[in-house]
Amino acid sequence: KDLVNEDFEKIKLFYVDVYKRPEVAAQNGIFISPTILFFCEGNENLRISRNIGIDELRKKIRKPYNLMYPSNG
């Protein structure tokens, strides 16, 4: 949550407890927890499961994020 708020403020973040909402897990092919899905324009762009390092996640999100939201500077 902090990563998104600090580095990627234009991303909408959603948390789903797949044990309470198993239909969401099924619709998205989630078999392991935790799993992070990153969508751009409605298409899945990134899927990371299990051990998720913050630095790794930051690097993987940066490229599609910069394509969607190029900096003005």
What's the predicted TM-score (pTM) here? 0.73
Compute the half-sphere exposure of residue 71: CA atoms within 13 Å on the CB side of its CA: 5
Burial of 61 (0-12, 13-18, 19+ CB in 10 A): buried
Give pLDDT tens digits for 4-42. Answer: 778 888 888 888 999 999 999 999 999 988 898 988 888
